[in-house]
């Protein structure tokens, strides 16, 4: 009888060990997969530029023809940024072009929703967003108008035991 009792106790403990290890393994696996999902979302070219403009600000874009702009085209979370040229008259974008590999410019022509390409104002070095019938969002950026990098404060040292 004692042998049977000891066998049950040992066998029961062995089952509990397996359950504990199984539970620990599952908990570790779940926490690892959740941690992977919480990784930083990669920024696209437009987001990177927009953050820079927001952080540093930009000088006013005056009337003229600019051959150093960035034309950003976005759909969903995807973005394409091309070098280009933009014409500004009375503080508004009148025409804009993408720069081709042969050095020529190609005018950006789309079918626009709600005439979103008309009266396109410029604020903080970025044009108002324009929307096409294919839900493509286009924004023009003037990186040459970015203000200088702001100086960052220097952290104070931690106290010492002196």
Higher pLDDT, 152 or 104: 104
Where in the chain are the domains?
Answer: 1-34, 45-145
Asked if 141 and 53 touch (Cβ cutoff 8 Å), the reply is: yes
Residue 101 pLDDT: 97
Higher pLDDT, 79 or 12: 79
Angle at 123 between CA 117 and CA 126, to 5 degrees: 65
Q: For residue 7, what pLDDT band results from cuts at 50, 70 and 90? A: very low
Grouping H, G, I as helix, E, B as strand and the rest as coil, residue 103 is coil
What tens digit of pLDDT does each residue of 49-97 get?
A: 999 999 999 999 999 999 999 999 999 889 999 999 999 999 999 999 9
Mean per-residue pLDDT for 92-109?
A: 96
Count other C-beta atoms under 10 Å from residue 135's C-beta: 10
Residue 144 pLDDT: 96
Mean per-residue pLDDT for 103-113?
A: 95
Share of the chain above pLDDT 70, in %: 75
Higher pLDDT, 19 or 69: 69
């Amino acid at each position: 009888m004692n042998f049977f009792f000891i066998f049950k106790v040992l066998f029961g403990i062995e089952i509990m060990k397996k359950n504990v290890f199984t539970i620990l393994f599952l908990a570790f696996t779940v926490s690892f997969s959740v941690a992977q999902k919480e990784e930083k979302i990669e920024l696209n070219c437009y987001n990177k530029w927009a953050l820079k403009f927001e952080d540093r600000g930009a000088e006013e874009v005056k009337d003229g023809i600019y051959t150093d702009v960035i034309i950003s085209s976005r759909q969903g979370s995807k973005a394409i940024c091309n070098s280009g040229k933009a014409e500004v008259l009375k503080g508004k974008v009148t025409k804009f072009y993408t720069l081709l590999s042969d050095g020529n410019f190609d005018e950006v022509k789309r079918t626009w929703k709600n005439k979103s390409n008309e009266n396109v104002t410029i604020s903080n070095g970025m044009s108002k967003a324009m929307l096409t019938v294919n839900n493509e969002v286009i924004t023009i950026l003037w990186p040459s108008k970015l203000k200088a990098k702001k100086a960052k404060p220097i952290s104070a040292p931690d106290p010492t035991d002196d």
